[in-house]
Amino acid sequence: MYSQLKDPAPYSGIAGFIGLFFRVAPDDSAFESIYVRPKVGRSSNQRFRNHAVQYFSYPDYKFDTLRKIAPYQYEGSAPVALNEWITMRIEVNGETAELFINDLKYSSFIVDKMVGKTKKGFVGLYVDIGTIGYFRDLKVTKRALQVKKAGEKEIAI
C-alpha cells in the first residue's frame, strides 16, 4: 500500500488512513478492518505512535467505541510512514488476527479477540477522506488447517 495526504487537506485530522476490510457481509452491512495511520507511525511522540494501527468491527464496534471500552487493546504501533510502500499482511485465524508490516518476521499488532459477528465474507480496500492511496499485489489465501493426532505426524486438511 502507498499512502499520501491530499493537498490541500479537506480537514485537519488526516493521517493517511489506509488498510483492508475483511469478513465483509454480502450486503455490506457488517465487516471487520485493520488499517494504518502512516502519518504517526514514526512520530517522535510515543502516544501518537500507539495509534498507528487500528482494528474495528462495523457497525457495532467502530474505532471510537473500542477506544472507550477497551483503551489500547485494539490499536497499537507499527513502523509505517507516508509516501512509501508498505507491505501489510493480515493473518486471520478464528477470533484472532495478526498484522505483519514490511515482511517483518514477527507481527506488529495482534487482535486477541475480534468482535464482529460475520465469520466469513468478502475483502475490501480502505482509503479514508483526505488520503490518496494505492494498492498493488493483493493476495488472499486460505491456509490448510493443520491437524495433529496423538502418535501420528501432521496432516494438512
User: Residue 127's domain is classified under what CATH number?
Assistant: 2.60.120
Q: Would strands 53-58 and 75-76 be described as parallel, antiparallel, or unpaired?
A: antiparallel
Separate counts of helices (H) and strands (E) for the chain? 2, 12
Domain count, the chain: 1
Position 13 confidence tier, pLDDT thresholds 50, 70, 90: confident
- Say if pTM beats, i.e. exceeds, 0.95: no
Please name which of 107, 103, 104, 80 lies closest in space to residue 93, comparing C-alpha atoms: 107
Other Cβ atoms within 10 Å of 86 Cβ, number: 20
Structural domain range at position 93: 2-156
- pLDDT for 152 equals 55
**22 in Cβ contact with 90 (< 8 Å):** yes
